[in-house]
């Protein structure tokens, strides 16, 4: 049986690991999203035709297309790692000072089972929307999923801010985190905005970011 408790400094490495692993597991889906883009298909067809014209060998064409697929895969992987590093270097670089300043309305929790950290969540004032709080770093180790851990973690965070009279909580997720969308709908969040991730890779892949919101008055309903 798991227990949910506040973050302690000894959890630092485990929390960062759960975040990185949970983020990284979506790389395959983003790669497929990249391959759906017209520029990727044009690149693959172009490589095939060019090699066919210059070398006239079907096997070389297949190898060339394989090479292009590999380059796209490695580029997606590279941008993913950049995204992970961003999180690790932002709030997760010093979890205590990001989330747990005395008297603040922010906090960070972990789910612990048999002495191991198996899930995480944090909540803090939203930079993009002053006056709202943002739920962040929701992640559960794969082998502990489907048992209500994420739901319990989110409820802990929402109850906490509701006690501090926070009335609006938001979160940002992406088009590929489909399990998370189900979780957010279950606990009363509503999608209110979607936009392309404002960056060159985001525009190239048409990588959509979703903003969800929750009135903490609804917190008792799940």
Site residues for ligand COA per CB under 6 A: 22, 138-140, 145-151, 173, 177, 179-180, 182-183, 186
The least CB distance from residue 134 to ligand COA, in Å, is 11
| Pairing of the two strands 133-140 and 168-174 | parallel
Q: How far apart are the first and last CA of the chain?
A: 20
Q: Which is nearer to ligand COA, 107 or 139 (CB)?
A: 139
Q: Which is nearer to ligand COA, 139 or 216 (CB)?
A: 139
The least CB distance from residue 211 to ligand COA, in Å, is 11
Q: Which is nearer to ligand COA, 51 or 183 (CB)?
A: 183
Q: Which is nearer to ligand COA, 106 or 211 (CB)?
A: 211
The least CB distance from residue 78 to ligand COA, in Å, is 20
Which string of DSSP letters, residue by residue, matches 106-130?
-EEEEEEETTEEEEEEEEEE-SSST
The least CB distance from residue 93 to ligand COA, in Å, is 18
């Amino acid at each position: 049986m798991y227990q949910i408790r506040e973050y302690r400094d000894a959890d630092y490495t485990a929390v960062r690991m759960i975040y990185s692993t949970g983020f990284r597991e979506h790389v395959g889906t983003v790669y497929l999203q990249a391959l759906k883009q017209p520029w990727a298909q044009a690149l693959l067809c172009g490589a095939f035709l060019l090699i066919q014209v210059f070398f006239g060998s079907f096997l070389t064409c297949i190898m060339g297309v394989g090479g292009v697929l590999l380059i796209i895969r490695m580029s997606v992987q590279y941008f993913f790692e950049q995204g992970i590093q961003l999180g690790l270097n932002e709030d997760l670089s010093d979890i205590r000072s990001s989330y747990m300043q005395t008297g603040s309305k922010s906090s960070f929790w972990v789910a612990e089972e048999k002495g191991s950290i198996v899930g995480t969540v944090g909540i803090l004032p939203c930079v993009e929307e002053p006056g709202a709080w943002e739920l962040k770093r929701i992640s559960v180790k794969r082998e502990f999923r489907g048992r209500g851990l994420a739901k319990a973690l989110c409820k802990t965070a929402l109850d906490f801010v509701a006690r501090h009279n926070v009335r609006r909580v938001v979160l940002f997720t992406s088009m590929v985190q489909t399990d998370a969308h189900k979780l957010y709908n279950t606990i009363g969040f509503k999608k209110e905005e979607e936009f392309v991730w404002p960056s060159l890779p985001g525009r190239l892949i048409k990588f959509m970011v979703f903003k969800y919101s929750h009135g903490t008055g609804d917190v008792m309903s799940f």
